[in-house]
């Protein structure tokens, strides 16, 4: 791995699945204390002109600059991002959907868990990280998918989180999701062969929006 003056952390699903002793499918990384120019000078390739995600020059894995997000409109794309070099790891992790996805691990294997995701893993709870959960309606589908994926392990959605999902649905926020993005989440469920169990949390949130994919 390239030597850098920044702090690099494995984040999200890879950390979660390691702690669950499950196979890690993809590894995502967060870099704290860097700028786009610094990464480009080291040979990283930027993915998209306006988004702080880069491909590692050797592994081709995704490395994202630590960032904050501020709601600026409706739907899952209405956000203003700040990815300046002074954004902390804790600030980056708090914007994530669930506590079990808001953990990080440094290159020495040390766990960073400011929002107690490891405890929720042990208790088999899907819990939102912060009230900002309601700023992204796509999270309704993501949480339903996680509930289905880990149903066999006994995971349940925490009641307050379920209420926030209900609020997003009742306010019509899901109507602002594109059919393509809804299908992308649904396709992940199909690939995991969990469609039957994903319907269980969704039916509690009726009426979900109808999308024509034709």
Render pLDDT for 70-122 as a digit per residue (tens, 0 to 9). 766 655 556 688 999 999 999 999 999 999 999 999 999 999 999 999 999 99
What is the tens place of the pLDDT at every residue in 18-43? 999 999 988 999 999 999 999 999 99
What is the tens place of the pLDDT at every residue in 138-180? 899 899 889 988 999 999 999 999 999 999 888 888 888 888 8
In sequence order, the 6+-apart residues with CB closer than 8 A to the CB of 212 are 179
| Same-domain check for residues 165 and 103 | no
**pLDDT category of residue 213 using cuts at 50, 70 and 90:** very low
| Same-domain check for residues 52 and 147 | no
| Same-domain check for residues 102 and 141 | no
- pLDDT > 50? residue 214: no
**pLDDT category of residue 210 using cuts at 50, 70 and 90:** very low
* Residue 93 pLDDT: 98
* Residue 207 pLDDT: 46
Domain presence at residue 124? no
Residue 57's H or E segment, with its range, is none
> Lowest mean pLDDT: which of 127-131, 188-192, 202-206?
202-206
Please report which residue ranges of the chain form alpha helices under DSSP H: 13-19, 36-41, 89-94, 117-123, 138-149, 159-170, 179-191, 195-203
Domain presence at residue 211? no
**pLDDT category of residue 15 using cuts at 50, 70 and 90:** very high
Contact (Cβ atoms closer than 8 angstroms) between residue 23 and residue 129: no
* Residue 135 pLDDT: 87
- pLDDT > 90? residue 209: no
Number of domains in the chain: 2
Measured in degrees and rounded to the nearest 5, phi and psi for residue 205 equal -110, 10
How far apart are the C-alpha atoms of 57 and 41, rounded to whole Å?
11
* Residue 212 pLDDT: 41
How far apart are the C-alpha atoms of 87 and 36, rounded to whole Å?
13
How far apart are the C-alpha atoms of 30 and 105, rounded to whole Å?
10
How far apart are the C-alpha atoms of 116 and 102, rounded to whole Å?
9
Domain presence at residue 86? yes
* Over residues 129-140, mean pLDDT: 91
Structural domain of 191: 137-203
Q: Among 54, 87, 117, where does a domain finish? A: 117
Nearest to 64 by CA among 108, 8, 13: 8
200 or 69, which is more confident = 69
* Residue 35 pLDDT: 94
In the three-class reduction of DSSP (H, G, I as helix; E, B as strand; rest coil), residue 69 is classed as strand
Strands 111-112, 62-65: pairing kind: unpaired
| Same-domain check for residues 18 and 96 | yes
Domain presence at residue 11? yes
* Residue 195 pLDDT: 53
| Same-domain check for residues 110 and 16 | yes
Taking the model in full, what pTM does it have? 0.83
| Same-domain check for residues 111 and 153 | no
Domain presence at residue 165? yes
Domain presence at residue 61? yes
* Residue 199 pLDDT: 52
């Amino acid at each position: 791995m390239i030597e850098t003056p920044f702090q690099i952390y494995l984040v999200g699903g890879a950390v979660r699945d390691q702690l669950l002793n499950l196979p890690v499918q993809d590894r995502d990384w967060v870099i704290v204390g860097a700028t786009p120019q610094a990464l480009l000078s080291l040979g990283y390739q930027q993915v998209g002109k306006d988004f702080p995600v880069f491909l590692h020059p050797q592994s081709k894995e995704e490395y994202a600059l630590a960032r904050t997000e501020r709601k600026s409109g409706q739907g899952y794309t209405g956000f203003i991002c700040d990815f300046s070099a002074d954004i902390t790891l804790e600030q980056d992790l708090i914007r994530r959907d669930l506590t079990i996805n808001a953990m990080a691990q440094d290159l020495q294997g040390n766990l960073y868990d400011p929002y107690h995701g490891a405890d929720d893993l042990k208790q088999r709870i899907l819990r939102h990280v912060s009230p900002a959960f309601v700023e992204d309606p796509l999270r309704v589908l993501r949480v339903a998918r996680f509930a289905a994926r880990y149903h066999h392990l006994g995971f349940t959605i925490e009641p307050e989180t379920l209420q926030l999902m209900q609020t997003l649905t009742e306010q019509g926020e899901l109507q602002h999701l594109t059919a393509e993005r809804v299908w992308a989440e649904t396709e992940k469920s199909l690939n995991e062969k969990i469609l039957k169990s994903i319907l269980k949390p969704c039916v509690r949130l009726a009426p979900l929006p109808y999308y024509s994919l034709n």
